[in-house]
Amino acid sequence: MLILKVSGLLTIFAVCCLFGFLKSSALNKRAVKLLDFLKGMDFLGERIKMGTSEITELLKISFKEDLITYEGSEFFADGDYLKNEDISPINEFLSKLGMGDTDSEYERIKAYKAIIELQHKAAETDCLNLCKLYKTLGVLTGVFICIFLL
């Protein structure tokens, strides 16, 4: 009987800790994904400025596979770990990409890059402020529940 109680309490504690660490990891992955978008936009801007190839090929070269999904001739941001406020400017950027000349496209990339940089800074701030909180909250919730059930 004691073994069942101890294993149940350990399971509850582990689940609470895991939830806190997963929530913290999701915040960190958001910041990393936005940074990858920024790097891809830099690369795309330089390639467009050089005028080397078509937009479809440049997007596939510039961005990692987990950042952009391709559906026919349309491109969309992969929404895993991102908020709606992160996805909407990226999708707007991707939907109208290639409609102008190279100079205007380069300026457009710089403008959207500034927006994504603000989102990335907000994500980093959230990560710094909340990651440790979620981890600690998960552990303390697990301890509280275990003590309560004893």
Answer for the pair 66, 52: CB distance below 8 angstroms, yes or no.
Answer: no
Which DSSP letter does residue 135 get? Answer: H
Q: Could you tell me where the DSSP H helices lie in 51-101?
A: 55-62, 84-95
Asked if the model's pLDDT at residue 19 lies above 90, the reply is: yes
More confident residue, 106 or 137: 137
**Local confidence band at 28 (pLDDT 50, 70, 90 cut-offs):** very high
- What is the arithmetic mean of pLDDT over 90-116? 84
d(Cα 49, Cα 101) in Å, to the nearest integer? 10
The helix (run of H) or strand (run of E) holding residue 46 is: helix 2-50
